[in-house]
Amino acid sequence: MALSRQAFKAKFKEDLLAVHWRQWSALGVASHLPPEDHWILDLESLMVSTWVLGMEDRRLFSASLEWLTKNAEWVSVSRLKGVAKTFSVTPFPQAPKALFHGSLLARIGEALPQLKKLPLSLRNASSHGEELWGDYDSALRAFRVRGIAKPLEALSFPPLLQAHLRALWGADARVEVLLFLLFREGGNSLSLAREVNYDQKAVYRLLERWAKAGVVEKREGKYVLMDKAKWARFLGLDLKRYGYLNWTRTFLFLDRLARMLVTPPWSEDDYLLSSGFRDLEKEAKRVGRDLDVPIPEPAAYPGGRYFEPFASAVVEMLSRILAEGRRMKRS
């Protein structure tokens, strides 16, 4: 049956928020949904994406702030700023306004005194673009700790591997680089830096150090993790049971779609949505590849006819993200 714009909007919003709630649930936030139990989480990407979607679900926004007040020490502020910067780029010239801006980080930093224990202040974030955040201001003023978030150290299961590794190494590039190399084939310093949202020089120095120490080896210009099985045993991790996604890329794509779906004139016009989908085709294909969901070729669907096949593929992506844990459990 053809997927209407209204039906897609409703399904997309419900599933996208569910992806976020499940991840927050895994991080110890009381939620109506079970915790994510398949995908390895990425704290900074989840936080930025949650804040992008904050005004779509204020409870989610508030829950993320409460979690942050209790778990600030687990967060890499420099990476948080890096991810936020990625979200502040408009994907194409006529796109709806940027998803995010550094000024919101500053506002959050100011609004939550508990964040003073962060090693690097969010207050350093830019204050440009302040006029964008009127709704956020009222949500931040209304924020109260309601006792719905637990401290992270009370939790222990594989999707929280990033946090566990940070307990060992602190919040630096080693954690994200190791996670990537555990689940993926490897890469050069530039591709890895892009994947993990750290500075290329820092990633290069780390990889060279690891190469000398025998943690990684260079194969055809790529750094590859040696003896993944040993690492998996050490971390108590079944690599086939858990999945890795580039959450910055995945959330960025989904959040851009989310913004388009609530912003006129895109939100009211199948053709403009189709045109916007074409603008996001490259991003969609990369995320689609990660999730094994083929994205239909736009040339086969002229004008507004691209809406339905693209929207169906996005629904499938979200359903794979949500269903993967359940599927893995059965197998």
Closest distance of CB 303 from other proteins, Å: 5
Alpha helix (H) ranges present in the chain?
A: 5-26, 43-52, 58-71, 77-87, 102-111, 134-142, 161-169, 173-183, 189-196, 200-213, 228-235, 247-262, 270-279, 281-291, 307-330
If you search the block for the tokens 């990369």, which residue do you land on? 286
Residues linked to residue 218 through DSSP beta bridges, in sequence order:
223
Closest distance of CB 272 from other proteins, Å: 5
Nearer to other proteins, 98 or 272 (CB): 272
Nearer to other proteins, 200 or 263 (CB): 263
Closest distance of CB 2 from other proteins, Å: 17
User: Rounded CA gap, 135 and 313, in Å?
Assistant: 32
Structure tokens belonging to residue 69: 């007040």
User: Rounded CA gap, 166 and 177, in Å?
Assistant: 12
User: Rounded CA gap, 31 and 146, in Å?
Assistant: 13
Closest distance of CB 98 from other proteins, Å: 16
Q: Which amino acid is at 73?
A: E
User: Rounded CA gap, 260 and 206, in Å?
Assistant: 39
Nearer to other proteins, 204 or 271 (CB): 271
Nearer to other proteins, 73 or 269 (CB): 269
Tell me how far CA of residue 267 lies from CA of 13, 199, 217, 231, 255, in angstroms.
Answer: 13, 36, 49, 47, 14
Residues linked to residue 216 through DSSP beta bridges, in sequence order:
225
User: Rounded CA gap, 111 and 93, in Å?
Assistant: 33
Nearer to other proteins, 110 or 297 (CB): 297
Closest distance of CB 313 from other proteins, Å: 18
Closest distance of CB 181 from other proteins, Å: 38
Nearer to other proteins, 154 or 299 (CB): 299
Contact set with other proteins (CB under 8 A): 93-94, 265, 269, 271-272, 274-275, 278, 298-299, 302-304, 306
Nearer to other proteins, 172 or 269 (CB): 269
Closest distance of CB 12 from other proteins, Å: 21
